């Protein structure tokens, strides 16, 4: 078995999406010859979750800056002692990649999951990754911003239930779900404003926001100011995503940019249609008019109009949900992701890099 080590910035819940990709890879990569391990650069509950599914997980505390020289040396020595065929980075900058190479890693891969700054909302156009042997992009949209390498696009994948969960028996207010970190780039406030506009036009909806982040107080203030606090539930960070989606009718994602959001795959796998901005990698998942609707970012009127239509056409809602389930099952399975990832690892080997066993 060839050993791969995945480096993740933190074992805190905000890295759950990345860890889900690693866990899926660990589940399916064995038959392809790879032993998957993870090293976190800060401790947290995700370490235990990894270990619970049989993935070797450890922590080396380092804040990622030259100021923490002790942490950098500790990481360097750990990598020297624990040689791997593949060191697969899911975060970090030039210094982290340099440490990995100088420690003797045979192949260093940088995995780029997104491109926008979630606080400033800046969208870089020229991403460069010196010291990396190869780069994986989460979507074709992300790949267009990478200039230092010819990146390999590998879509995330998830396990899909063999039968879709029906929406046919859902009645009452349209249950709208948001699965998101609460940061400016996610534009969650637009969903709250839409709730106010729809209330004024007599459309009954309930907004359910599952996530946490720095702008939660601001979002609560907006809900109170618009007098829709009774129509907007803040659920905090949740791990029971399947149960939540089963109680919702529609996932809404009005982001300014996305790499390849797992929450969209989750919704489609649960046979829930998706209403999202036409940005980043979202159009590579959602088929407009078939598995959901795509609208321009920051277009509040389009968001309100589409929700109104779907609230008044529950049959169409269910049809889109079933189409989404079928698409994820065929195109975005965890097994397919693992197969493509390990083939990429193999190709790096064949290109002349000697991998340690």
Give the C-alpha distances (Å, rounded to integers) separating 321 from 4, 158, 246, 269: 37, 17, 11, 9
Cα separation, 109 vs 286, in Å, equals: 28
Are 230 and 250 in contact, with CB atoms under 8 Å apart?
A: no
Are 48 and 72 in contact, with CB atoms under 8 Å apart?
A: no
CATH class of 2-159+333-350: alpha beta
pLDDT at 357: 34
Residue 278 burial (C-beta neighbours within 10 Å; 0-12, 13-18, 19+): middle
Low-confidence ranges of the chain (pLDDT < 70): 167-169, 350-357
Are 151 and 143 in contact, with CB atoms under 8 Å apart?
A: yes
Look up tokens 């940019």; give the residue: 257
pLDDT digits (tens, 9 = 90+) for 129-180: 999 999 999 999 999 999 988 999 999 999 998 877 776 667 789 999 999 9
SS3 295: strand
pTM: 0.93
The residue ranges of every structural domain in the chain are: 2-159+333-350, 174-331
Q: Which residues contact 332 (CB under 8 A, 6 or more apart)?
A: 155, 156, 157, 158, 265, 285
CATH architecture of 174-331: 3-Layer(aba) Sandwich (3.40)
Are 179 and 212 in contact, with CB atoms under 8 Å apart?
A: no
**Equal CATH topology for 2-159+333-350 and 174-331:** yes
pLDDT at 323: 96
pLDDT at 352: 47
């Amino acid at each position: 078995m060839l050993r791969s080590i995945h480096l993740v910035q933190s074992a805190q819940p905000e890295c759950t999406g990345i860890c889900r990709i690693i866990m899926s890879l660990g589940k399916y990569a064995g038959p392809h010859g790879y032993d998957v391990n993870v090293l976190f650069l800060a401790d947290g509950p995700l370490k235990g979750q990894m270990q619970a599914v049989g993935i070797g997980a450890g922590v080396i505390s380092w804040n990622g800056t030259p100021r923490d020289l002790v942490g950098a040396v500790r990481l360097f020595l750990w990598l020297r002692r624990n040689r791997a065929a593949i060191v697969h980075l899911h975060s970090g900058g030039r210094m982290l990649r340099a440490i990995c190479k100088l420690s003797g890693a045979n192949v260093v891969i940088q995995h780029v999951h997104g491109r926008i700054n979630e606080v400033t909302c800046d969208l870089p156009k020229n991403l460069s990754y010196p010291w990396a042997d190869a780069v994986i992009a989460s979507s074709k949209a992300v790949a267009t911003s990478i200039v230092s390498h010819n990146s390999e696009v590998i879509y995330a994948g998830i396990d899909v239930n063999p039968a879709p969960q029906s929406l046919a028996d859902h009645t009452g207010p349209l249950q709208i779900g948001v699965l998101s970190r609460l940061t400016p780039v996610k534009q969650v406030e637009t969903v709250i404003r839409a709730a106010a506009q729809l209330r004024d036009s007599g459309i009954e909806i309930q907004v359910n926001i599952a996530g946490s982040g720095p702008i939660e107080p601001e979002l609560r203030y907006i809900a109170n100011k618009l007098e829709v606090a009774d129509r907007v539930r803040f659920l905090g960070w949740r791990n029971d995503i399947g149960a939540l989606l089963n109680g919702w009718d529609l996932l809404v994602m009005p982001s300014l940019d996305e790499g390849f959001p797992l929450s969209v795959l989750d919704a489609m796998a649960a046979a829930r249609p998706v209403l999202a901005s036409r940005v980043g990698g979202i159009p590579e998942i959602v088929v407009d008019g078939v598995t959901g609707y795509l609208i321009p970012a920051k277009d509040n009127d389009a968001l309100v109009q589409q929700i109104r239509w779907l609230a008044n056409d529950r049959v169409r809602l269910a049809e889109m949900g079933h189409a989404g389930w079928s698409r994820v099952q065929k195109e975005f399975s965890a097994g397919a992701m693992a197969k493509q990832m390990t083939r990429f690892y193999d190709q790096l080997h064949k290109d002349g890099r000697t991998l340690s066993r």
